[in-house]
Amino acid sequence: MQLIDDVADRVAIEVLKLVDETGNLDIVEDVKKVIGTSSQTLEEAYMTAIRVRRAEARAMELIGTLRAQNGGA
């Protein structure tokens, strides 16, 4: 369902921003617990969005490093 994925991604983006601002990794789990009390489906979509966004960030960091090593080409 598109709505669930959209909501999960929107929440994941905000949570990851807050984690970056505070350094508090527990926020991901705290939000997961709150979501899970109301909707297991949304909880699963949220955790998937968290994993995908983190993987994207790692990939983009690697791409930036590789670009820098190759003179920014």
pLDDT of residue 41: 98
Query: In whole angstroms, what is the distance from residue 62 CA to residue 66 CA?
Result: 6
pLDDT of residue 73: 61
pTM of the model: 0.90
Residue 73 carries which side chain, given as an amino acid letter?
A
- For the chain, what is the domain count? 1
35 within some domain:
yes
Residue 70 carries which side chain, given as an amino acid letter?
N
Query: In whole angstroms, what is the distance from residue 64 CA to residue 42 CA?
Result: 32
In which domain, by residue range, is 12 found? 2-68
42 within some domain:
yes
**Digit-coded pLDDT (tens) for 8-66:** 999 999 999 999 999 999 999 999 999 999 999 999 999 999 999 999 999 999 999 99
73 within some domain:
no
